Chains A and B, each alone.
Chain A
C-alpha cells in the first residue's frame, strides 16, 4: 500500500534531481574556460522500487541521485603526460641549440670564418712587403681581432652554462613546489573521498599539476592500494623513487658549487687543465641523500641538465662546443707559435710566441688566447723571415701554410692502455666548418622533433578536450532539458497537491 504523500516524494525527487542537474550545468558553463576542467554530470538512476503484493509488479518511487561524476579518460592523461615529457626535453634542446647558433653567427660577414679570412689576408699582404710598418700593424690588428673573437665566443658559451644552471635551479624549485601542492591535494582528496564520493574539482586541480610536472621531469603515477584499505593512495615516482608519497613529499635537493663535468673530465687528462674551472654548477639528489641519475633524466629538467653538462654523446650540449673551440684554439695557436718561433724578426732575434695566455702560464685556449704583448708593442718583432733582412718573408710563407696543414684535435687519457679520443682532424677551416655542420644538423633535428612533438601533444590534448571539454551548445541544450524536467516535476507536485487537497478538504463533507 502506497503512502499518502508518496506521489509528492516521487515528484520531489524529480524536482531535486533536475535542480541539481541545473546546478551542475551552471557549474560547467561557469568553468567552460577553466584549464584542466572536466565536465561533470549527474549520474542518476531509478530509485529502488516498491514491490506491490500479489505479483502486480514493482512501483517506482522516483529518481535516485547517485553520483556527480566527471567525464575524463585517464588513459589519455597518461599518453599526454608521456608526450609532454618528451616535449619538455626537446624544447630545451631546441632553445639551447638556437642560442648556440646565434653565438657562432654563421653564415655571416662577421662570424669566425670571416675573422680567420681577414687574419690570413693580413699575412698575405705582409708576405709581399714584410718590412712595411702598415702591413705589420694590420697583421697585428687582425690577430687581435681573432683572439678577441675566440675569447668572446668562449665567454658567451660559459655564460650560457651559468644561465642554464640558474634555469635548472628554478626548475627544481618548481618541481618541489608542485610536488608539495600535489601532496596537499592528495590528502584533501583522500579525506573527501572517504565516504565514497568523488572530489571532482580537487581531482581536476591535481591533474593540472601533474600535467605541469610531467613536462618538467619524467614521472610515473602509481596508485597504491594498501593492504586492508579500501581506497588507493597516489604516489608519483621519479626514477623509481617516490617524489610524492600520498601526502608526503621527498624533495629534490640542490648541491651548489659543484665542479662542472667538463672540468672533472679535463682534470683526468691533466691536472693543469683549466676547462670551465671558474664555472660552478648545481647538482641534485634526493633530500634523503639518495643519488639521482642526472644523465637519464628527461623532461625540461633533463633537457636543461643535458645542455648544461654533456660534452659528448648524442645529447651533447654547450660544453661540447666549449671543448671543441678550446681544443681547436690550442692546436692552432701551438702550431702557429711553433712556426713563428722558427723565424727571425727585424732585429735579428729569434721569434717569440705569437699568441700567449696573456701573462698566465699554461695551455693556450679560447678563453685566454691573446696576441703576445711584446709583439703588439713592437711590430718589428713579427718574425717574418729567416734572417733580419727587410725583404725576407720566408717564414710568413711557411706560416700561411698552416691553412693547408692538418691539425689533429686529440684528447689523450692516461692510463693503461692510453686512450686517445680523436675529436677532430683536418685543416683549420675544415675543423671550424665541421663544428658548425654538427651544430646545424643537431639544431635542425631538434627543431623538427620539437615541432612534431608540439603537434602531437596538441592533438592528444585536443582529444582529451573532446572527451572532457565543455561545449556551450551542449550545455545549453541540457539546460533546456533539465528546465523542462524541473517544470514538469513542479507541475506534478501541483497535481498531487490538488489531489491531496481533494482528499483532505473535500472528502467526507456529504451533507455539509
Chain B
C-alpha cells in the first residue's frame, strides 16, 4: 500500500492524541482518587456506588436515632429508679408505722416524712428530658401530675397509654421510647377494654382495603344507683360513600384513619367516656369508669362488584381470647393510683390506724412490682440498642469498605499506568520527529 507524507503525519497525530487521552484519564483518576466519574464509565458500578452511599447515610441516621432513643430511655430509667427507692423507703416507714407499739406522735412524724416523699414523687412524675415531660405521652409540653398529685386532665387521659413515641432505628424497626404516666403511676379510673384485630389489613403498602361494618355500643354506669345506660347505636364503616357511591378505601395498615372515622361518630358528649384507640396493629375500645358492650355487630360479607373480595377487611372484636358476644365487659382498675395510695397512707398514719396502714402495704408492693417490671422493659430496650448499634457500626464499616473497593483509585496501579503511558507518549513524540522531517528533497543536489 502506498504511503504518503500526509498519511504518516495524520496517523502520528492521531496516536499522540490517543496517548494524551489515556494520560488525561490516569491523571483525573489520581487527582480525584476515584476511578468512575460519569455513569458511562461503568454503569453497573455507578449504580452500586449510589446505592452504597445512600445506605451508609441511612445507617448513620439510624445510629443517630438509636443514640437519641438511648438517652431518652436512660433518663426514664433514672426516674424509675428514683421512684423505686422512694417507694422502698415508704414501705419501710409504713411497716414501722403499722407497728402498734408506736405512739401517735411518732406515727405523725412518719407521716410528715411521707408527705415530703410524696412531693418528691410528684416532681419525678413531671421529670423532663430536654424540656419535654417524659411521662406525658404526646403532649410532652404539659406536666403529667398536678401539684396535688392528681392527673392532668388536659392530657386526654383516656387512651394515654397508647400514645407511643416511636423512633425509627432500622429498616422496618421502630422502637417505642416512652412510658406514659398512667402505666407508671396507675390509671385514675376504671376502664373496660375490647380489642379488635383487623383481618385482611396487614400493612402491605400497595393495597387498599375497605370495610363494611355496622355496630352499636352501650355504656352502663354502675357507680350510680340506679345504673345509667347510654347507647350509641350507629357506628359504621360503610363500604360505599353515601354521596358519591365510590368505595371508601384505607391504606393497608392505616388504623389511624380507621379509628378517626370511628371516633368521629361518637357523640361529643360521650367522647370523654369511650374512645377507639390504636395499639400497634390492633384497635382497642376503651372506656372511662363505664362497662361496655357491643350491640348489633354486623360485618356482612357481601361480594360487591365494586371491589374484589380480598380487598374487604374485617374487624373482629374480642374480649381476651373469646369473641365479643354482646355481653357487658366490666370496667376494672388494675392498679390504684400511686399518689392516691400514698395519700391514703398519710391519712391512716395521721389517725393512728395501724391496721389500715398494714392493709396498704399490699398496694405499695403492687406498685413496686409494677415499677420493677417497667424498669425491666426499659433496661432491656437499652441493651437492645447497644447490641443494634454495635451491629450497625459493623455493617456501616462493611459498606464503606465495599464502596471503597467499588470506586476508589488504586494509587500504586494508577501511578504505574501513568508512568508507562508517559513513556509511550514520549516515544511517539520522538518517532514523529524522526519520520516527519526528511524527504527526498534533502538528498537531491
| A and B physically associate | yes
Q: Are A473 and B439 in contact (CB under 8 A)?
A: yes
**Minimal Cβ-Cβ distance residue in A for B5:** A472
Partner of B163 from the list A389, A432, A440, A442 (CB cut-off 8 Å) is: A389
Chain A hits for B61, CB < 8 A: 120-121, 124
**Minimal Cβ-Cβ distance residue in A for B140:** A391
CA distance A458 to B138 in the complex (A): 74
- A401 close to chain B: CB less than 8 A: yes
Partner of B46 from the list A33, A386, A437, A469 (CB cut-off 8 Å) is: A437
Known: A472-B5, A473-B439. A394 touches B256 (CB 8 A): yes
A120, A387, A389, A400, most chain B CB atoms within 10 A: A389
Chain A hits for B69, CB < 8 A: 128
Known: A342-B256, A397-B174, A441-B43. A466 touches B2 (CB 8 A): yes
Which among B51-59, B110-118, B380-388 touches the partner chain? Answer: B51-59
Q: List 30 A-B contacts (CB under 8 A).
A: A98-B38, A101-B39, A106-B50, A107-B36, A121-B61, A128-B167, A129-B130, A342-B256, A391-B137, A391-B140, A391-B141, A393-B165, A404-B172, A405-B205, A429-B50, A429-B51, A433-B47, A433-B50, A444-B41, A444-B43, A446-B40, A458-B14, A465-B10, A466-B1, A466-B7, A469-B6, A470-B6, A471-B5, A472-B440, A480-B444
Known: A124-B168, A436-B50, A469-B7. A391 touches B1 (CB 8 A): no
- A439 close to chain B: CB less than 8 A: yes
- B199 close to chain A: CB less than 8 A: no
CA distance A107 to B51 in the complex (A): 10
What 4 pairs between A and B have smallest CB-CB spacing? A440-B39, A440-B43, A389-B138, A443-B40
Chain A hits for B10, CB < 8 A: 458, 462, 465
Binary CB contact string for chain B from 25 to 53 against chain A (1 if under 8 A, 0 otherwise): 00000000000101111111011011101
Chain B hits for A107, CB < 8 A: 36, 39, 46, 49-50, 53, 407
- B405 close to chain A: CB less than 8 A: no
Binary CB contact string for chain B from 406 to 445 against chain A (1 if under 8 A, 0 otherwise): 0100000000000000000000000000000001110010
Q: Are B4 and A476 in contact (CB under 8 A)?
A: no
CA distance A458 to B17 in the complex (A): 14
Chain A hits for B42, CB < 8 A: 440, 444
- A249 close to chain B: CB less than 8 A: no
CA distance A446 to B61 in the complex (A): 39
- B11 close to chain A: CB less than 8 A: yes
CA distance A29 to B125 in the complex (A): 104
Chain B hits for A397, CB < 8 A: 166, 168, 174
Binary CB contact string for chain A from 114 to 141 against chain B (1 if under 8 A, 0 otherwise): 1001001100110111010000000000
- A447 close to chain B: CB less than 8 A: yes
Known: A401-B205, A406-B206. A117 touches B54 (CB 8 A): yes
**Chain B interface category by residue count:** 35 or more
- A222 close to chain B: CB less than 8 A: no
Chain A hits for B441, CB < 8 A: 472, 476
Chain A hits for B167, CB < 8 A: 127-128
CA distance A316 to B171 in the complex (A): 37
Partner of A131 from the list B36, B53, B141, B178 (CB cut-off 8 Å) is: B141
Q: Are B7 and A465 in contact (CB under 8 A)?
A: yes
- B3 close to chain A: CB less than 8 A: yes
**Minimal Cβ-Cβ distance residue in B for A101:** B38
Shortest beta-carbon distance from B281 to chain A in Å: 14
- A477 close to chain B: CB less than 8 A: yes
**Minimal Cβ-Cβ distance residue in B for A391:** B140
Q: Are A466 and B3 in contact (CB under 8 A)?
A: yes
Shortest beta-carbon distance from B89 to chain A in Å: 32
Q: Are B4 and A470 in contact (CB under 8 A)?
A: yes
Partner of A121 from the list B14, B57, B206 (CB cut-off 8 Å) is: B57
Partner of A394 from the list B141, B166, B407 (CB cut-off 8 Å) is: B166
Partner of B40 from the list A32, A401, A440, A469 (CB cut-off 8 Å) is: A440
